[in-house]
Amino acid sequence: MRIRPRRNRISNSIRSLVRENTLSPSDLIMPLFLIDGKNIKTEIPSMPGIYRRTPDLIIQEIKSLFSLGVPAVALFPALDDSLKDRYAKESSNQKGLYQNTIRDIKNAVPEITVITDVAMDPYSSDGHDGLVDSTTGEILNDETLPILAAMAVSQAAAGADIVAPSDMMDGRIDYIRKALDDGGFKNTGILAYTAKYASAFYGPFRDALNSAPKKGDKKTYQMDPANVREAIREAELDIQEGADIIMVKPGLPYLDVIRAISEISNVPVAAYNVSGEYAMLKAASQNGWLDYEKVVLETLMSFKRAGADMILSYHAGEAAEWIHG
Ligand code: PBG
């Protein structure tokens, strides 16, 4: 035998020379859950180690993430039911909890990239990402667009660096881009949730925000887990409409979609390693069934290998610490 692939694995230093992908804190984006109040953090039962935090504690957490080399956070608000209505009016309140906190974060840690969520569900009494027709129950696409645009503009006005529409309405990237430009926010980026699947892996997130749909499911707007060609179509549309970054979500069960999209995309590709994926590794590790640090780093590397340029992950903080050593 003259050809021996094992020669390239013989030592740590050779393995490091031939390594095809790397994982760095600068690849990571940490999602954070926001609640109103002061000096309070409450753990999410289905996501041990992940908290809802008041603005002061969010800022503390962001300072520590930034010092570990994590360049960005994705902020999600958990609102009291009294602030929710059919039209998600609170979502564009310039003095609302979300907008105030974005401003506070950008004042405290100006260099961190703040990515904001554009979708109605945290603010909607129906728990849907779009406007619900009260007689038919239909999720109204075109009527939702101005609501999303107002939300995005108010976030940009508060200082958001990148707005991230997670709603899956048709045509929203073009609509939001135009609204941002008209509002004077031509430098605010758009990270599009491009291939967002109707997934049961979002369960713990909906616990965290108390944002589960009151009726029905999200299958008329989020994608069918059986499809990949359709993800390419969504990617082509979002790129054409002006998305700066496109994303696949969830991550681990959709590595093939990340691969397919990264091969055709001329903009960076993000992967969202979602709440249910975090819960799986955490629960198994807490039972002593998996080595948490090793499975997390292996999972995060799998996204890079699949072609993702960046990863939203609840493991981001811990992973950044381990990578630093
Ligand atoms: C909704 C939204 C969801 C997530 C991010 N934005 C849930 C949903 O679509 O129901 C899920 C994130 C996660 O599970 O970590 N706009």
From the number of C-beta atoms within 10 Å of its C-beta (0-12, 13-18, 19+), residue 184 rates as: exposed
Question: Does 325 reside within a domain?
Answer: no
C-alpha distance across the termini of the chain, in Å: 39
pLDDT at 54: 98
Residue 314 has pLDDT above 80, yes or no: yes
Model confidence over 188-247: pLDDT tens digits? Answer: 999 999 999 999 999 999 988 888 899 999 999 999 999 999 999 999 999 999 999 999
pLDDT at 179: 98
Range of the domain at 188: 25-320
pLDDT at 121: 95
Q: Is 249 one of the catalytic residues?
A: yes
The answer to whether the CB of 141 falls within 8 A of the CB of 132 is no
Model confidence over 77-133: pLDDT tens digits? Answer: 999 999 999 999 999 999 999 999 999 999 999 999 999 999 999 999 999 999 999
Residue 295 has pLDDT above 90, yes or no: yes
Catalytic residue among 84, 218, 249, 282: 249
Question: Does 316 reside within a domain?
Answer: yes
DSSP string for residues in 147-207: HHHHHHHHHHHHT-SEEEE-S--TTHHHHHHHHHHHTT-TT-EEEEEEEEB--GGGHHHHH
Q: Is 282 one of the catalytic residues?
A: no
Question: Does 61 reside within a domain?
Answer: yes
Question: Does 2 reside within a domain?
Answer: no
Model confidence over 32-62: pLDDT tens digits? Answer: 999 999 999 999 999 999 999 999 999 999 9
Question: Does 283 reside within a domain?
Answer: yes
Biggest alpha carbon–alpha carbon distance for the chain: 73
Cα gap 308→133, rounded to integer Å: 37
User: Of 273, 299, 304, 271, which Cα lies nearest the Cα of 285?
Assistant: 299
Question: Does 5 reside within a domain?
Answer: no
pLDDT at 42: 97
Model confidence over 102-116: pLDDT tens digits? Answer: 999 999 999 999 999
Banded model confidence at residue 257, pLDDT cuts 50, 70, 90: very high
- The token pair at 116 is 């904001």
Residue 325 has pLDDT above 80, yes or no: no
Residue 270 has pLDDT above 90, yes or no: yes
Adjacent-strand bridge partners of 311:
28, 271
Instruction: State which H helix or E strand residue 286 sits in.
Output: helix 275-286
Q: Tell the residue nearest (CA) to atom 11 of ligand 1.
A: 202
Q: What is the DSSP letter of 253?
A: G
Model confidence over 145-182: pLDDT tens digits? Answer: 999 999 999 999 999 999 999 999 999 999 999 999 99
Question: Does 1 reside within a domain?
Answer: no
The answer to whether the CB of 236 falls within 8 A of the CB of 151 is no
- Residue given tokens 């997390």 in the structure block: 296
From the number of C-beta atoms within 10 Å of its C-beta (0-12, 13-18, 19+), residue 67 rates as: exposed
Catalytic residue among 196, 218, 282, 304: 196
pLDDT at 38: 98
Gap from CA of 202 to ligand 1 centroid (Å): 6
Cβ atoms < 10 Å from Cβ of 77? 24
Residue 324 has pLDDT above 90, yes or no: no
Q: How many domains does the chain contain in total?
A: 1
Percentage above 90 pLDDT, the chain: 97
CA-to-CA separations, 209 to 7, 15, 171, in angstroms, rounded: 51, 43, 26
pLDDT at 177: 98
Q: Are strands 139-140 and 47-53 parallel, antiparallel or unpaired?
A: unpaired
The answer to whether the CB of 235 falls within 8 A of the CB of 277 is no
Question: Does 11 reside within a domain?
Answer: no
Mean of pLDDT over the chain: 97
- The whole model's pTM is what? 0.97
pLDDT at 52: 97
Q: Tell the residue nearest (CA) to atom 2 of ligand 1.
A: 166
Gap from CA of 217 to ligand 1 centroid (Å): 13
**Average pLDDT for residues 270-294, to the nearest whole number?**
98
Cβ atoms < 10 Å from Cβ of 198? 15
CATH number at residue 316: 3.20.20.70
